[in-house]
Structure 1
């Protein structure tokens, strides 16, 4: 296990130790690191952020003024971090007005930011950008602070590792929750029933708010179920329901949440998926249903972190009814 000593502070591959205290919990660790960096660098405001789609989501901030709060969302393109990651400006700008790529950003002018330091956080397994660890100040800073960048990079890497480790624990927790869902299971399909769906949504919403998890909701309606029940009997209708459920299970991941919430209606919450990826999932499901001759209407909505998850579900439901209406209009 590798350990790096930072005066009386240290870090290793499993934990961060600050002033003799060990932190394995992300919430505690990130707060300790932001306070440590504030004391060490003199930058007053530190932020651990996550990039999701075209947004920068503030996962944690040590700002007590309310200027930048945990949970705040900013356009990624309008952030200093975006330009730093793109290589358009340095990771340390002690006199920010001297860096045109930064000083011209509207948000910088609005907040009167005078100094910046930040580093990107990449996921080890695929080098995908997770987010950034950055500090800003409203006064110019000394060039000597640039010597602290290696320490900031170590802290960013370790916070990223702890963050992702907690995501793995959350995935394991989701798997355990799935094993405990007997009372919340639809007997015909083995999927969650409406009760189970609502229980899981409330738990996921708390995680989404805390970690900025990108998700998308889908509502699927079996267009022909009533007709099949009426003409071929309920046994044929049940076979169609089971066939549709199997199609969903075989084309979604185990971490995604699937439920039968009505006689002819399914709901899906796709976890850890950005907008482009959500559209790919949507198109794949449509294609797979068509291949199996299952006539469906699907509505999808990408969740925005600024609104309740129930609103996203309603938007997906409206989109489903819109597709259903269009299908009726073009039917012979």
Structure 2
């Protein structure tokens, strides 16, 4: 079954917008605290992600940058919200520098925190000059720069969380909670997608409609929980023989539908055979109808044709009163709610 549960490119767009905003904010920071380079990283699940790198940091490998972000700050000097320390001799080659006695370089670091005080990122700078005096003189303006950066990082995080919530809500709106397959709304949406794609590519599609034969009998004799178990097993069995690009939906109380993209007559016939075999192996009695879009003219008409063929097959079967053996097999493989 294929369910569209992600918003294509949203995270990439959010990252691009955040990177552009943070890049502009770094340029403002550079006006107040000139350095040879800056970078901004945000932290997710204890992992650093480099968002923006300017100046010398564009040449520093990512793994070395992560070491610089994490290590050596225990004894660093602190002015307001900024920490700074000398670059270690073994760190100098990262910046294309050779250790020189009497000419130290400095790393400058500041944590980015959201309005709740939660650490969301870190700013790192590289300077050839000791930054203490500039940090003291420019503290108010530098604080505003950090606040703007932290707000941007936190906003990106909130946007991603909100988008994930919307995507989850959309997914849930299209999923049948009992069986885990598409509900009717999800089925209609999937058909609409395939119909649009088929118009562009002229690819054929197949529809299979399936209707359980004895769901009412199971509900009446074993209870609705047993009927629910039968519906779940049916959905699982159907799903087990489908490709990732196929979709299955629960269309009504005891009716399921399968839509197959890029179908050929042979492919559709093979799928029909797999469905019948898989359902028979678990003693699920079901009526099936199948149709190709190429024979019906449109996907909507294909659904109607498959539905008609399913009912033709159902009418040819014995009535429940004369079909005791199949009923008993279905009941035997369905959980008794009183056990």
TM range (shorter): 0.3 to 0.5
Question: Comparing both chains, which one has the higher relative contact order based on Cα–Cα distances under 8 Å and sequence gaps of 6 or more?
Answer: 2
Task: Return the structure number with greater strand share.
Answer: 1
TM-score, normalisation: structure 2: 0.44
